[in-house]
Amino acid sequence: LFSPMTSTNTYLIDKCGEKVHEWNTSAYKPALSCFLLQDGSLLKTGQLDNPFFDEGGSGGMIERFDWNGTLLWNYSVSDSNNCQHHDIMPLPNGNILCIVWDRKSKQEAVLNGKDSSYNQSHLWSEKIIELQPIGADSAIVVWEWKLWDHLIQSYDNTKLNYGVVSDHPELVNINYFPGAGNSPDWIHLNSIDYNPVLDQILVSSHTFNEVWIIDRSTTTAEAAAHSGGNSGKGGDILYRWGNPQAYQRGN
């Protein structure tokens, strides 16, 4: 199953490359994610060209079509401060996990320990929301995790989140910007997956060159804290791999 990046169509092919089925009723080019669900329906993301989030992978629209191309449900996560991007993950309970850019002002970033030489007006953090589809065009957020609740910095001891970065690999250093310079797209999560046995979420960060695992068994309040859930760690990173420079434990 694939949605070509320059097309509004989605195709299902067999192992010989022959087309089995085609959906051509979406109005949107893909935002890099599509799924064939157990009932034969198509779940896909779509580009809304949000002017506040003009980076690759920007999406904002989620659609579900039946096998014949009839639109069953759609919902937008796209405004001046939030935008779904790159990937989603359908869950066994019928809900959908979404990666969402979470726009912060420079003032908010500096207050939380960002190097004050940062020269952009905004910084894009990340959050993960779990949507419960309602009706044909609505949804409610039943769970949420925000990266902004799990920061650390060693730049300014008068600002929030100050501490020794290497002592806290479970937190994200707001001043680690490998290769991104002063780009507001700081983390750039690319993909999301779910482990139903452990009730954990896996995400990958393009900019950090890492994968992270977080606990989905938390409540939203626990996900904003450092305790709770099956792990007892709240929304802190349970495991990370790929780049020890990100938390100052290697090169």
Q: What is the pLDDT of residues 158-213, one digit of tens each?
A: 999 999 999 999 999 999 987 656 789 999 999 999 999 999 999 999 999 999 99
Q: What is the pLDDT of residues 122-149, one digit of tens each?
A: 999 999 999 999 999 999 999 999 999 9
> What is the pLDDT at residue 183?
83
Report the alpha-carbon distance of residue 10 to residue 24 in Å, rounded: 7
Residue with tokens 């726009």: 103
Contact 201, 213 (CB under 8 A): yes
Contact 4, 34 (CB under 8 A): no
Please report which helix (H) or strand (E) contains residue 107, including its range: helix 106-111
Q: What is the pTM of this model?
A: 0.96
Mean pLDDT of the chain: 96
Contact 223, 149 (CB under 8 A): yes
Among 102, 118, 113, 106, smallest CA distance to 182 is for: 118
How far CA 124 is from CA of 35, 115, 190, in Å, comes to: 27, 15, 14
Average pLDDT over residues 102-113: 97
Residue 55 reports pLDDT greater than 70: yes
Residue 63 reports pLDDT greater than 60: yes
The pLDDT > 90 percentage for the chain reads 95
Give the DSSP letter of residue 163: S
Average pLDDT over residues 28-52: 96
